[in-house]
Amino acid sequence: MAYIDFLNTVHSSTKRDYIGRVLSGNKADFATIAKRYDIDYWDGNRNTGYGGYRYDGRWFNVAMQITKHYRLDKGARILDIGCGKGFLLYEFSRIIEEADIFGIDISSYAIENSLDKVKPKLKRANATALPFPDKYFDLVISINTLHNLRLPDLDTALKEIERVSNNAKYIVVDGYRNEQEKVNLLYWQLTCECFYTPEEWEWLFTKIKYTGDYSCVYFD
Protein backbone atom coordinates (compact mmCIF):
# COMPACT_ATOMS: atom_id res chain seq x y z
CA MET A 1 0.00 0.00 0.00
CA ALA A 2 1.32 3.42 -1.00
CA TYR A 3 0.12 7.00 -0.73
CA ILE A 4 0.04 8.42 -4.29
CA ASP A 5 -1.62 11.70 -5.25
CA PHE A 6 -2.88 11.94 -8.82
CA LEU A 7 -5.63 14.48 -8.09
CA ASN A 8 -4.03 17.55 -6.54
CA THR A 9 -4.19 19.68 -9.71
CA VAL A 10 -7.88 18.88 -10.28
CA HIS A 11 -8.86 19.41 -6.66
CA SER A 12 -6.92 22.65 -6.20
CA SER A 13 -8.35 24.17 -9.38
CA THR A 14 -11.74 24.62 -7.66
CA LYS A 15 -12.26 27.60 -5.37
CA ARG A 16 -14.47 26.97 -2.32
CA ASP A 17 -16.23 29.44 -0.05
CA TYR A 18 -16.43 27.34 3.12
CA ILE A 19 -18.07 29.98 5.30
CA GLY A 20 -20.45 30.95 2.51
CA ARG A 21 -21.84 27.44 2.24
CA VAL A 22 -22.58 27.32 5.96
CA LEU A 23 -24.18 30.79 6.02
CA SER A 24 -26.19 30.45 2.80
CA GLY A 25 -28.94 28.30 4.31
CA ASN A 26 -29.66 25.15 6.28
CA LYS A 27 -26.69 22.89 5.54
CA ALA A 28 -28.53 19.88 6.95
CA ASP A 29 -31.19 20.40 4.29
CA PHE A 30 -28.49 20.76 1.63
CA ALA A 31 -26.94 17.44 2.72
CA THR A 32 -30.30 15.67 2.73
CA ILE A 33 -30.94 16.80 -0.83
CA ALA A 34 -27.39 15.94 -1.96
CA LYS A 35 -27.67 12.38 -0.69
CA ARG A 36 -30.41 11.66 -3.20
CA TYR A 37 -27.67 11.89 -5.87
CA ASP A 38 -30.11 13.18 -8.47
CA ILE A 39 -30.25 16.36 -10.55
CA ASP A 40 -29.85 18.62 -7.49
CA TYR A 41 -26.55 16.96 -6.60
CA TRP A 42 -25.02 16.87 -10.07
CA ASP A 43 -26.54 19.78 -11.95
CA GLY A 44 -28.45 21.87 -9.42
CA ASN A 45 -27.44 24.63 -7.03
CA ARG A 46 -23.84 24.71 -5.78
CA ASN A 47 -25.12 24.44 -2.19
CA THR A 48 -26.44 20.92 -2.86
CA GLY A 49 -23.59 19.54 -4.92
CA TYR A 50 -21.44 20.24 -7.96
CA GLY A 51 -23.55 23.07 -9.33
CA GLY A 52 -23.24 21.56 -12.81
CA TYR A 53 -20.99 18.54 -13.43
CA ARG A 54 -20.00 18.76 -17.09
CA TYR A 55 -17.21 17.33 -19.18
CA ASP A 56 -14.33 19.79 -19.52
CA GLY A 57 -11.31 17.54 -20.08
CA ARG A 58 -9.82 18.03 -16.62
CA TRP A 59 -9.68 14.26 -15.98
CA PHE A 60 -7.42 13.52 -18.97
CA ASN A 61 -4.17 14.21 -17.12
CA VAL A 62 -5.36 12.16 -14.14
CA ALA A 63 -6.09 9.19 -16.41
CA MET A 64 -2.72 9.64 -18.12
CA GLN A 65 -0.81 9.64 -14.82
CA ILE A 66 -2.66 6.55 -13.60
CA THR A 67 -2.10 4.74 -16.91
CA LYS A 68 1.63 5.38 -16.81
CA HIS A 69 2.03 4.59 -13.12
CA TYR A 70 0.26 1.24 -13.31
CA ARG A 71 1.62 0.47 -16.80
CA LEU A 72 -1.78 -0.24 -18.24
CA ASP A 73 -1.52 -1.84 -21.65
CA LYS A 74 -3.78 -2.43 -24.63
CA GLY A 75 -7.07 -4.03 -23.61
CA ALA A 76 -6.65 -3.25 -19.90
CA ARG A 77 -9.81 -4.00 -17.94
CA ILE A 78 -10.71 -1.08 -15.63
CA LEU A 79 -13.49 -0.61 -13.07
CA ASP A 80 -14.47 2.80 -11.67
CA ILE A 81 -16.56 2.57 -8.48
CA GLY A 82 -18.65 5.71 -8.11
CA CYS A 83 -18.06 6.62 -11.75
CA GLY A 84 -20.64 9.41 -11.87
CA LYS A 85 -21.07 10.54 -15.48
CA GLY A 86 -18.08 8.46 -16.60
CA PHE A 87 -15.65 11.27 -17.42
CA LEU A 88 -12.57 9.48 -16.07
CA LEU A 89 -13.48 6.25 -17.84
CA TYR A 90 -13.91 8.18 -21.07
CA GLU A 91 -10.34 9.47 -20.74
CA PHE A 92 -9.02 5.95 -20.19
CA SER A 93 -10.80 4.90 -23.39
CA ARG A 94 -8.97 7.68 -25.24
CA ILE A 95 -5.55 6.84 -23.81
CA ILE A 96 -5.51 3.03 -23.76
CA GLU A 97 -6.10 1.17 -26.99
CA GLU A 98 -9.11 -1.15 -26.72
CA ALA A 99 -9.54 -0.34 -23.02
CA ASP A 100 -12.25 -2.52 -21.48
CA ILE A 101 -13.95 -0.04 -19.17
CA PHE A 102 -16.70 -0.58 -16.61
CA GLY A 103 -18.33 1.80 -14.15
CA ILE A 104 -20.85 1.56 -11.35
CA ASP A 105 -22.73 4.25 -9.48
CA ILE A 106 -25.79 4.39 -7.23
CA SER A 107 -27.04 7.46 -9.14
CA SER A 108 -29.41 6.65 -11.97
CA TYR A 109 -29.33 10.33 -12.93
CA ALA A 110 -25.55 10.33 -13.38
CA ILE A 111 -25.62 7.23 -15.56
CA GLU A 112 -28.52 8.52 -17.66
CA ASN A 113 -26.59 11.76 -18.23
CA SER A 114 -23.20 10.20 -18.88
CA LEU A 115 -21.18 10.56 -22.06
CA ASP A 116 -22.61 8.52 -24.93
CA LYS A 117 -19.34 6.66 -25.56
CA VAL A 118 -19.22 5.19 -22.05
CA LYS A 119 -22.91 4.94 -21.16
CA PRO A 120 -23.26 1.29 -22.34
CA LYS A 121 -20.46 0.32 -19.94
CA LEU A 122 -22.04 1.88 -16.84
CA LYS A 123 -24.56 0.28 -14.52
CA ARG A 124 -26.37 1.13 -11.33
CA ALA A 125 -24.86 -0.88 -8.49
CA ASN A 126 -23.50 -0.53 -4.96
CA ALA A 127 -19.86 -0.71 -3.92
CA THR A 128 -20.80 -3.25 -1.26
CA ALA A 129 -21.91 -5.83 -3.85
CA LEU A 130 -19.88 -5.52 -7.04
CA PRO A 131 -21.55 -7.48 -9.87
CA PHE A 132 -18.31 -8.88 -11.27
CA PRO A 133 -16.28 -12.11 -10.98
CA ASP A 134 -13.25 -12.57 -8.75
CA LYS A 135 -9.93 -11.14 -9.98
CA TYR A 136 -11.59 -9.64 -13.05
CA PHE A 137 -9.92 -6.23 -13.32
CA ASP A 138 -6.40 -5.01 -14.04
CA LEU A 139 -7.23 -1.78 -12.22
CA VAL A 140 -10.00 -0.88 -9.76
CA ILE A 141 -10.36 2.80 -8.91
CA SER A 142 -12.72 4.76 -6.69
CA ILE A 143 -12.43 8.54 -6.58
CA ASN A 144 -14.18 10.52 -3.82
CA THR A 145 -16.81 7.84 -3.23
CA LEU A 146 -15.98 5.38 -0.46
CA HIS A 147 -16.00 8.02 2.28
CA ASN A 148 -19.74 8.33 1.60
CA LEU A 149 -20.26 4.89 3.16
CA ARG A 150 -20.77 4.22 6.85
CA LEU A 151 -17.95 2.24 8.42
CA PRO A 152 -19.51 -1.27 8.19
CA ASP A 153 -20.29 -0.74 4.49
CA LEU A 154 -16.84 0.73 3.90
CA ASP A 155 -15.37 -2.49 5.29
CA THR A 156 -17.48 -4.54 2.87
CA ALA A 157 -16.69 -2.30 -0.10
CA LEU A 158 -12.93 -2.53 0.43
CA LYS A 159 -13.16 -6.30 0.63
CA GLU A 160 -15.16 -6.29 -2.60
CA ILE A 161 -12.44 -4.24 -4.27
CA GLU A 162 -9.88 -6.80 -3.15
CA ARG A 163 -12.06 -9.60 -4.50
CA VAL A 164 -12.57 -8.26 -8.03
CA SER A 165 -9.04 -6.91 -8.49
CA ASN A 166 -6.40 -8.96 -10.20
CA ASN A 167 -3.71 -6.34 -9.80
CA ALA A 168 -3.76 -2.60 -9.15
CA LYS A 169 -6.17 -0.73 -6.86
CA TYR A 170 -6.39 3.01 -6.21
CA ILE A 171 -8.88 4.95 -4.08
CA VAL A 172 -9.26 8.59 -3.03
CA VAL A 173 -11.04 9.61 0.18
CA ASP A 174 -11.61 12.77 2.20
CA GLY A 175 -9.11 13.48 4.95
CA TYR A 176 -7.55 16.18 7.09
CA ARG A 177 -4.11 16.90 8.53
CA ASN A 178 -4.92 19.67 10.99
CA GLU A 179 -7.83 21.37 12.70
CA GLN A 180 -8.32 23.97 9.97
CA GLU A 181 -8.66 21.29 7.29
CA LYS A 182 -11.04 19.37 9.55
CA VAL A 183 -13.27 22.42 10.02
CA ASN A 184 -13.20 23.24 6.29
CA LEU A 185 -14.18 19.67 5.47
CA LEU A 186 -17.11 19.82 7.89
CA TYR A 187 -18.23 23.13 6.41
CA TRP A 188 -17.98 21.92 2.81
CA GLN A 189 -18.90 18.23 2.70
CA LEU A 190 -22.46 17.12 1.95
CA THR A 191 -22.35 13.34 1.62
CA CYS A 192 -19.29 12.23 3.59
CA GLU A 193 -19.77 9.66 6.39
CA CYS A 194 -16.14 8.68 7.08
CA PHE A 195 -13.22 11.09 7.21
CA TYR A 196 -9.93 10.63 9.03
CA THR A 197 -6.31 11.70 9.12
CA PRO A 198 -4.07 9.89 6.59
CA GLU A 199 -2.55 7.89 9.46
CA GLU A 200 -5.99 6.78 10.59
CA TRP A 201 -6.99 5.86 7.03
CA GLU A 202 -3.86 3.75 6.68
CA TRP A 203 -4.56 2.05 10.02
CA LEU A 204 -8.10 1.27 8.84
CA PHE A 205 -6.92 -0.06 5.48
CA THR A 206 -4.42 -2.35 7.20
CA LYS A 207 -7.11 -3.58 9.59
CA ILE A 208 -9.45 -4.39 6.70
CA LYS A 209 -6.56 -5.85 4.66
CA TYR A 210 -6.89 -3.48 1.74
CA THR A 211 -3.65 -3.78 -0.23
CA GLY A 212 -4.06 -1.09 -2.89
CA ASP A 213 -2.85 2.49 -3.08
CA TYR A 214 -4.69 5.57 -1.87
CA SER A 215 -4.65 9.32 -1.40
CA CYS A 216 -6.68 11.89 0.49
CA VAL A 217 -8.45 15.04 -0.60
CA TYR A 218 -7.71 17.91 1.80
CA PHE A 219 -9.72 21.11 2.18
CA ASP A 220 -7.07 23.69 2.96
Please state the rounded mean pLDDT for residues 113-131: 98
What is the structure's pLDDT at 11? 83
Angle, CA of 219, 110 and 218, to the nearest 5°:
10
From 195, 155, 205, 157, select the one nearest 173 (Cα to Cα): 195
Contact 119, 110 (CB under 8 A): no
Q: How confident is the model at residue 12 (pLDDT cuts 50, 70, 90)?
A: confident
Q: What is the pLDDT of residues 87-121, one digit of tens each?
A: 999 999 999 999 999 999 999 999 999 999 999 99
Taking residue 85's Cβ as centre, other Cβ atoms within 10 Å add up to 26
3-state secondary structure 154-199: HHHHHHHHHHHEEEEEEEEEEECCCHHHHHHHHHHCCCCCCCECHH
* Residue 13 pLDDT greater than 80, yes or no: no
Q: How confident is the model at residue 10 (pLDDT cuts 50, 70, 90)?
A: confident
Mean residue pLDDT of the chain comes to 96
Q: How confident is the model at residue 83 (pLDDT cuts 50, 70, 90)?
A: very high
- The domains located in the chain, with CATH, are 8-217 (3.40.50.150)
Q: How confident is the model at residue 9 (pLDDT cuts 50, 70, 90)?
A: confident
Q: How confident is the model at residue 218 (pLDDT cuts 50, 70, 90)?
A: very high
From 86, 62, 71, 32, select the one nearest 172 (Cα to Cα): 62
Residue 205: beta bridge partners?
none
Instruction: Name the DSSP class of 81.
Output: E
What is the structure's pLDDT at 153? 98
* Residue 31 pLDDT greater than 90, yes or no: yes
